[in-house]
Chains A and B, each alone.
Chain A
Amino acid sequence: MGTRDSLIQVTDLKKHYHMGAIKALDGVTVDINRGDVMVVIGPSGSGKSTFLRSLNLLEEPTGGAIVFDGVDITKKKYKDAQGNMVKLDIDKLRQKMGMVFQHFNLFPHMTILENMALAPIKVKGMGKAEAEEKALTLLDRVGLKDRAGAYPIQLSGGQKQRVAIVRALAMEPEVMLFDEPTSALDPEMVGEVLDVMKGLAKEGMTMVVVTHEMGFAREVGNRVLFMADGMLLEQGTPDKIFGEPEHPRLKDFLAKVL
């Protein structure tokens, strides 16, 4: 497996509402290393999604730190290598973090190809021809090259999610965040999406996956986090989490879902 270097360090991450009456995240500390496939499990309302969405600041944390590529992204300003205070460029940051949503969130007024090429063209300044060629290569990889001219509504749920994954990949992110990517799918389509994710994991992509698919967590994940009540209660290898769970909440949770 080789040595792994740390990509994201999360320290004591907090997200409180209403003067702390609601604690969506209550002090989560974890290191995400390059090449990790980190699976986050837990009952609903446990803060898994909030944790994931905090990583690219779709949720603004109210406390703690997220250090990504050496910069604490929870601060609006930071010191650069020369010691100057610079404003955090959130758009730059998000380019390096691909995100896949439960409800796909494809752009319905654009074809699949336009969906894929938009960000590379507008954000990275790539030429249209190059962006489209790259998009077609990626679509080919998930077996959807022939649907490039279709609109999202013409695709099945599984196809939409495969497009959403490669749309994020088109920006060549350093880490991919998956927010319950199979929860809105019909059962027979879950497999095709998980297969794409497995392929990504094999290629060494760093992934953080919030999911209810315990089979995927076991088979593909190299680390599993168990969250409840906004806290990280237990973490370890899949064998350890599923084989010898320690925390009573985890034992209780596994008894219900397995």
Chain B
Amino acid sequence: MEQFIQLENFSKILPYAQLFKQGMLVTILLSLFTVVIGFCIALILALMRMSNVRPLRSLGLDQNGHLREGGFLAFVSKFNPLSFLATAYVEILRSTPVIVQIFIIYYGVFGLIKLPSFQMFGFIKFDRFFPGVVALGMNSGAYLCEIIRAGIQSIDGGQTEAARSLGLSQAQNLRYIILPQALKNILPAIANEFVVIIKESAITYTIGVQDIMSAVNAVKGATFVIVEPLLVATAVYFCLCFPTSKIIAYFERRMSHGDKR
């Protein structure tokens, strides 16, 4: 009778251990770069969405320089192109599948822009790896943007009023008052997003990034063993994701000193 797991199959895939090791390294690097790029994009997007740049602002003032109370010009004067662009970006990226975005970036964007084809660490194909990082980073940027924005907006308006009434500028208020409090509130959501990035990075094997999933496929093709390589991949992903959430939970505890009596 066939069994779900056959121990001798593990010895069959053992010679390919090196592939899994390399795949794990690629997944880690891919996730790290994605997180960094995603976070930078997200912070910029969140600030754009909450910015107060209104090029048509002067249309909202009457001859005496006072704010108009309403009407078409008052409405137009509130138009904020930065916020509009950021909102459009977030909505488009969140409303389309990651795999479509990855293909568009890989075949579309980097079909036009030729990347140098060298190998990082002697085995990571740069012209596959880089588009993968860009696509995943852009995608997670959209999600992280919403997390950061929600975090900033969850801070009581009285905090900003107090800071501004003390003479702090808008930027100082953000830097010293709002972001430290917001970051603490959104850490669980960020941890969740980091874990999602690690798992989602598996999809980049479709454009030839040699991550863990691509190692699974390679071993499958060479040995015709399917379930056991998948179990190895499962173990590797778990070992990457579980500690990530634990580490962030540790920082969360460390930052909560203002909450305890």
Residues of A that sit less than 8 Å from B by CB: 16-20, 56, 58, 60-63, 74-77, 91-92, 94-95, 97-99, 101, 103, 105-110, 118-119, 122-124, 151-154, 164, 167-168, 171
Contacts and interface: CB of A to CB of B under 8 A. Distances in A.
B97 interface: no
Contacts of B162: 99, 101, 105-107, 164
B167 interface: yes
A119 B166 contact: yes
A128 B66 CA distance: 40
A62 B159 CA distance: 24
A91 B158 contact: no
B172 interface: yes
Of the listed residues B161, B167, B259, the one surrounded by the most CB atoms of chain A closer than 10 A to its CB is B167
Contact of A105 (B161, B167, B258): B161
| Residue from A60, A62, A95, A109 having most chain B Cβ neighbours under 10 A | A109
The 4 A-B residue pairs with the shortest CB-CB distance, nearest first, are A95-B167, A105-B162, A119-B166, A99-B165
A101 B180 contact: no
Given A101-B158, A105-B158, A107-B177, A151 B166 contact: no
A56 B71 CA distance: 27
Given A94-B167, A119-B168, A123-B172, A107 B159 contact: yes
Contacts of B167: 91-92, 94-95, 119, 123-124, 171
Contacts of B168: 91, 118-119, 122-123
B187 to A, nearest CB: 13
B164 A109 contact: no
A171 B258 contact: no
Contacts of B253: none
B259 A153 contact: yes
B56 to A, nearest CB: 15
B261 A109 contact: no
Nearest to A57: B164
B180 A109 contact: yes
A75 B65 contact: yes
Contacts of A77: 65
A110 B165 contact: no
6 contacts: A19-B69, A91-B164, A94-B167, A97-B165, A101-B158, A151-B257
B261 A153 contact: yes
B164 A58 contact: yes
B260 interface: yes
Given A122-B172, A153-B260, A109 B65 contact: no
Nearest to B256: A109
B184 interface: yes
B223 interface: no
B184 A109 contact: yes
A123 B70 contact: no
Nearest to A90: B164
Contacts of A118: 166, 168, 176
A121 to B, nearest CB: 10
Given A17-B69, A62-B67, A74-B66, A56 B165 contact: yes
A103 B261 contact: no
B206 interface: no
A76 B65 CA distance: 7
B192 interface: no
B44 to A, nearest CB: 23
B153 interface: no
B244 interface: no
Contacts of A16: 69
A105 B181 CA distance: 13
A206 to B, nearest CB: 16
A21 to B, nearest CB: 9
Contacts of B176: 118, 122
Q: Which of B68, B162, B166, B168 has the most CB of A within 10 A?
A: B166
Interface in B39-87: 61, 65-71
B169 interface: yes
A167 B166 contact: yes
Residue among A62, A108, A171 facing the most chain B CB atoms (10 A cut-off):
A108
A70 B163 CA distance: 25
B65 A94 contact: no
A106 B162 CA distance: 8
Given A123-B168, A152-B258, 6 more contacts: A61-B67, A63-B66, A76-B65, A77-B65, A91-B164, A106-B162
A103 B67 contact: no
A168 B71 contact: no
